[in-house]
Amino acid sequence: MAALLRTARSALGLSLAFITRLDGDTQHLEVVESAFPPLFRDGSARPWHNSLCKAIADGKLPAVIPDLRRYPEAMRLPAARMPRIRSYVSVPVVLSDGTTYGTFCAAGFGADRELTRRDQALMTVLSQAAALIVEPGARQRARHDEIAARIDPVVAAGGPGIVLQPIVELATGHRIGAEALSRFPRAWGSTPDVHFAEAHEIGAGDELEVLALRRAAELLGAGGGYVAMNVSPSTLLTHECLDALSRMPLDRIVLELSEHQQVADYDLLKGALAPLRAGGLRLAVDDVGAGFSSLRHIVLTQPDVIKLDRSIVAGVAADPVLKVLVRAMADLAAATGAAVVAEGIETAADAAALGDLGVPYGQGFYFARPDDPALLRDTYTR
């Protein structure tokens, strides 16, 4: 971008060139190429409503102004007084979808009667090249703004809604606990893990996850057994998350650590978990079988609970390969002293097969859908 601006300034023989980004009534000078750096800095902002660029965009002034003194409209604007601009060229920076990103401009502190429409044509070509450079960032900014418009009100309201899905003993249907699951507005049209990932994308993920944990903890009085809560490894390591967990009745909590996010430092993770586990917190590795790091998570974190992902649970009754995989996970759990919970059970046949394969616990639509905590029962039989 700086090279494009240097080309503009050199070709036109003016004192400075810059590209702006429009944000409501504010004009941000994103990159400035100037012979007078103290007067114009990258990142500075100025009002849009009384700028030369807006007057040009509105058709009140021509795109090429060799001498501002010939235009009373121009001389009434702040730029004519400070920093005393006298020659000016401004063309829009237009993105591929037709939206105007900002302006590509060059200015001089003296009149320049040599400025012509040919110079405007050069600036237009350079602005088109600038549009190609800024478009990816503009798209990302627009995406982040859209995400923030959805996520920020949820954070302000104290976090997402929480429902509970029972976790039962397969042999008896007795409920031993429940998993707390976050719920976002149905109109958003995506699953909760997508919304948490979007929140992390804009820097609000840790806060949103901690709020979800706190709301889940409020449901510990909904019935007996434990409440399983989900958290990502990166959020778990934050001070806010560790502080929130330390204030909860740890012996009633199973913390589910998703294996979809890679753990950067297992020693750091185990060190953070140690005082919590000493206080009664149980650790579960979630989604085992769905991603790249199941066995590594299990070996290095030594969880109390292994949760089998629905991808290796659904259809297990009729699939010999899934049976071998589930049996192997059950044997591993037995050898390490961990309990096994199968997620996503939807049929009686799968529930029976899982029990035969050494999986003692499970959850899924076969027993109950995630629902209002007040609707939890002690026993689920079909």
Q: Among residues of the chain, what percentage have pLDDT more than 90?
A: 87
pLDDT computed for residue 259 by the predictor: 61
Just give the CATH number of 157-375.
3.20.20.450
Q: CB burial class (10 A; 0-12, 13-18, 19+) of residue 7?
A: middle
The yes-or-no verdict on residue 309 having pLDDT over 70 is yes
* Cis omega (within 30 of 0) for bond into 83: yes
pLDDT computed for residue 323 by the predictor: 96
pLDDT computed for residue 288 by the predictor: 85
pLDDT computed for residue 178 by the predictor: 97
Tell me the average pLDDT of the chain.
Answer: 94
- Structure confidence by residue, pLDDT tens digits, 229-246: 999 999 999 999 999 999
Q: Are 20 and 53 in contact (CB under 8 A)?
A: yes
Longest dimension (CA), the chain: 92
Of 332, 159, 346, 337, give the one whose Cα is nearest residue 240. Answer: 159
The yes-or-no verdict on residue 292 having pLDDT over 60 is no
pLDDT computed for residue 37 by the predictor: 66
- Structure confidence by residue, pLDDT tens digits, 248-282: 999 999 999 876 677 889 999 999 999 999 999 99
Please tell me the pTM assigned to this model: 0.85
**Alpha-carbon gap, residue 201 to 193, rounded angstroms:** 12
pLDDT computed for residue 244 by the predictor: 97
Tokens of 164: 């509970």
Classified by CATH at the fold level, domain 2-146 comes out as: Beta-Lactamase (3.30.450)
Task: Taking residues 191-203, report their average pLDDT.
Answer: 96
- Structure confidence by residue, pLDDT tens digits, 16-38: 999 999 999 999 999 999 877 66
Looking at the DSSP assignment, which residues form a beta bridge with residue 183?
A: 161
Name the more confident of 215 and 299. Answer: 215
3-state secondary structure 26-73: EEEEEEEEECCCCCCCCCEEEECCCCHHHHHHCCCCCCEECCHHHCHH
- Structure confidence by residue, pLDDT tens digits, 332-370: 999 999 999 999 999 999 999 999 999 999 999 999 999
**Alpha-carbon gap, residue 172 to 378, rounded angstroms:** 11
**Alpha-carbon gap, residue 85 to 78, rounded angstroms:** 9
**Sequence ranges of the domains in the chain:** 2-146, 157-375
pLDDT computed for residue 114 by the predictor: 92
Looking at the DSSP assignment, which residues form a beta bridge with residue 87?
A: 108
